[in-house]
Copies of this chain bind each other. A is one copy, B any other.
Amino acid sequence: MRRLRYLQAMNEAYHQEMERDEEIFILGEDIRGNLRGETYGLLDRFGPNRVLDTPISEAAFVGFGTGAAMAGMRPIVQFQIATLIYLAFDQLVNNAAKMRLMMGGQVNIPVTYTVMATGARNGLAGQHADNPYPFFLHAGIKTICPSNAYDAKGLLISAIRENDPVGYFAPAGCLSQRGEVPEAPYAIPLGQGQIKREGTDVTVIAVGQMVGEALKVAESMSSEGISVQVWDPRTLLPLDKEGVCSAVAKTGRAVIYDDANRTCGFAAELSSLLVERVYDELVSPIKRVTRADVPIAFSAPLEQAALPSQVGLANAIRSICG
């Protein structure tokens, strides 16, 4: 089958969905300029009324999306870098996310926020390297983090079709990776995690670009006689609670491998959820291997030290499978 890069898979999803439904339009910074590749060809194909370059006004263009959604269209709002959501935080968590309930269900807010290059690496430094999806989760905003090109397309299509605000986080480390991607449109339902590798001793729950790393660690652990299962939630909210519980119940042990900040992060949520749901099946404490709670320093060795690492994951696995 065709192999596409993650960004190309996103691009194909954009094209196919905008083709399918002319209520969909996209806006953000330098969309037309197509800096990274995921918006390639949109302007030519769909014209300036459906492909909008905004001023540097994140709060306003999020609110603009909300208003356009209330008036019946389906905006895709792109954040050029992940931390830009902070500039629109009120419009996201205190407005778009709450609008439907506050109005007693009068309107839907079908907006997709594509949050590009989350968790950036290699010297992007303090203000450009966050993985801010836990903020969305805590605010109850539907949140997706596809780990490969196939999921990237299928989940983007689902996000765009969802009638609620959805944050779509595209991890920096995945964007140029290739994978098999069918050409015809397909939708991967929200709320369905996936076992990316079967195993019997411990389940590693890995998010986004951590999935690929976890698979590598899983391979190398087999030489130590530890059978590692890797589970990818794919969508963080809705989370496939059944899926993760049964994966962990099977192995009795779990490590969560996540590149967001540790405190009150997604790993904390999963750990406490598993304790509530599968406590009796657990044979060891659940471990979190996350980013340290520090702004990412520019210098490579410090960046490395602050990020979750394969070595750290392997050690965590050993500590409970010993």
Residues on A lying within 8 angstroms of B by beta carbon are 83, 86-87, 89-90, 93-95, 97-98, 101-102, 125-127, 130, 134-135, 137-140, 237, 260-261, 263-269, 271-273, 275-276, 279, 284-288, 293-295, 297
Identify which of A102, A138, A275 gathers the most chain B CB atoms within 10 Å of its CB.
A138
Residue of B nearest to A273 (CB): B268
Cβ contact within 8 Å between B138 and A134? yes
Q: A271 contacts which chain B residues (CB < 8 A)? A: 268, 271-272, 275-276
Q: A103 to nearest B CB, angstroms?
A: 9
- Output the residue of A95, A126, A272, A284 with the most chain B CB within 10 A: A272
Q: What residue in chain B is nearest A320 (Cβ atoms)?
A: B279
Are B90 and A134 in contact, with the CB atoms below 8 A? no
Q: Complex formed: what's the CA distance from A294 to B284 in Å?
A: 33
- Could you tell me the distance in whole angstroms from the C-beta of A131 to the nearest C-beta in chain B? 11
**A264:B261 contact, CB within 8 angstroms:** no
A87 touches B86 (CB 8 A): no
Q: Is the CB of A269 within 8 A of B264?
A: yes
- Chain B residues near A102: list those with CB within 8 A: 125-127, 295
Enumerate chain B residues within 8 angstroms of A93, measured Cβ to Cβ. 86
- Bound complex: CA A139 to CA B264 (Å): 9
Residues in B whose Cβ lies below 8 Å from that of A137: 263-264
Q: Please, how many angstroms separate the alpha-carbon atoms of A140 and B265 in the complex?
A: 11
Query: Please, could you name 28 A-B residue pairs with CB atoms under 8 Å apart, sorted by A?
Result: A83-B94, A86-B93, A87-B90, A89-B90, A94-B127, A98-B126, A98-B127, A102-B125, A102-B127, A102-B295, A134-B138, A134-B264, A135-B135, A137-B264, A139-B261, A140-B295, A237-B263, A264-B265, A267-B272, A268-B271, A271-B275, A272-B272, A272-B275, A272-B286, A275-B275, A275-B285, A275-B286, A279-B285
Shortest A288–chain B CB gap in Å is 6
